[in-house]
Amino acid sequence: MKRKSKNRKSQTASNALTPNLEDNLEVIKTSMGNSSDLVIRRVMIHQTPAAIIYMDGLVDNNSVQNFILEALMLEMPTEKPNHNLFESIKESALPIGEAEEIDCYNELFERLISGETILLLEQQSKAIAASTKGWRDRGVQETTSESVIRGPKESFTETMRTNTALIRRKIKDSNLRMEPKKIGTKTKTDVTVVYLEGTAESEVIDEVNRRLDQIDIDGILESGYLEEFIQDAQYSPFPTVYNSEKPDAIAGGILEGRVAIITDGTPNVLLVPALFVNFMQSSEDYYQRADIGTFVRILRLFCFFVALFMPSIYIAFTTFHQEMIPPPLLISLAAQREGVPFPALAEALMMELTFEVLREAGVRLPKPVGSAVSIVGALVLGQAAVQAGLVSPAMVIVVSITAICSFVFPAYNLAISVRILRFPLMLLAATFGLYGIILGMIAMVLHLCSLKSFGKSYMAPFAPFMPKDQKDVLVRFPHWGLLSRPSSMTKKDQQRVDSTSKEN
């Protein structure tokens, strides 16, 4: 009997609404499992039984009270309308922005769970869905993962409409398009594709929509789900989808011709296509003077090579190529390593893994404790390891400088890629010396040049080399020299200035 009742419930829920109000309410209560947050308010409108249904916590109670209950119970004309009561309520009785007609249970449940209020009438096989969404959100606050000294401090929130409004505030153009989607058979997560029509290439937009439409999963809880589904190189350590919490960074990418993907429930917004140079740049580069922005970008590139190759170079020099070290430094290193019982590779792996554990512990611990534990733990462990003769002081310096340089990257996911690649490079250095490092570098460059992000070359504008786009890569020209969009990103609407207004 239970199996038959379940089948009957699913069959009923897929059919159209019935004219009987009680039958409709029974199906709704049964399908929702008599949930405690399901609110059903019965009212009489011109001697006609009606019901107002909404989910507590997902609606704005003031909107339900002022624009639906009071409008129907206090402000409705006393005389019965000459034409259909349903049409009269829909057209003139509800002072609310969105009120749409629905006629099936599937759409009713979808709108009900999305925070809308449903109005059912007796002898009507259709209902009115009024937009009363109003759940509590975190509000616009300062970003915690992408700190800047100069520039906007606001960050995205977990609410979709707040995030789209933040982008609208930055780009006040009628060509800004926002295409909504729902992904996830159970969660039905709201996803919005944002781009600038006439600037973004239609091939990229179509490819984004195609990859999103192909996602078949029961739930999307964060934009990281979408990133894994739509990224190009599934097994590459390098990220091919950019994400940010800063509205100005996403707006800047949209102005360049890229496409943003906003996911409801997370402050991290995706941006595609994503090139390697995008992960080495920060939005603050454009708020400082051009010479300061250029210096910082070159410094980041230097730190990238230091964080990636410094431990492996130290291992190669001390293990295979002592003749390349100046004699005074070689004598000092030999004296330090005299009592160390482990080879350089074991030292490096032990110290690197220790720093990785401390870094992860600092992230997971509460904020007041995390920073103190990571800093004090690193100092105490490093000093104790040196005094115990487990590692040499030079190795502690090398690992410390490497860890500091990995914090310089604006994109956290690129820093993780560098941390992962550091270990195979150390193994190559301990096995083949400098030849192993060069082989690893060649393999990495070949892999980078083979990557693509939504049809765009990952290493552009270096490979292929685009002289026109070099003004905003390592060197940042002043804003008066950046009046054209990067050709590596879009071939449409290349000029950032209005030629007609310039002529006038």
Secondary structure string (H, E, C) spanning 336-355? HCCCCCCCHHHHHHHHHHHH
Q: What's the mean pLDDT in 359-372?
A: 71
Domain boundaries, the chain: 2-131, 160-274, 304-457
Mean predicted lDDT score pLDDT of the chain: 86
Q: What's the mean pLDDT in 470-497?
A: 87
Cβ proximity of 188 and 182 under 8 Å: yes
Q: Is 502 exposed, middle or buried (0-12, 13-18, 19+ CB in 10 A)?
A: exposed
Placement of tokens 């599937």 in the chain: 106
Q: Residue 7 pLDDT > 50, yes or no?
A: no
Model pLDDT for residues 151-200, shown as the tens digit of each residue: 888 999 988 888 999 999 999 988 999 999 999 999 889 999 999 998 99
Residues in the chain: 504
Distance CA 332, CA 460 (A): 44
pLDDT score recorded for residue 402: 92
Q: What's the mean pLDDT in 26-38?
A: 88
Model pLDDT for residues 219-271, shown as the tens digit of each residue: 999 999 999 999 998 889 999 999 999 999 999 999 999 999 999 989 999 99
Model pLDDT for residues 387-433, shown as the tens digit of each residue: 788 888 888 889 889 988 988 998 888 999 999 999 999 999 999 99
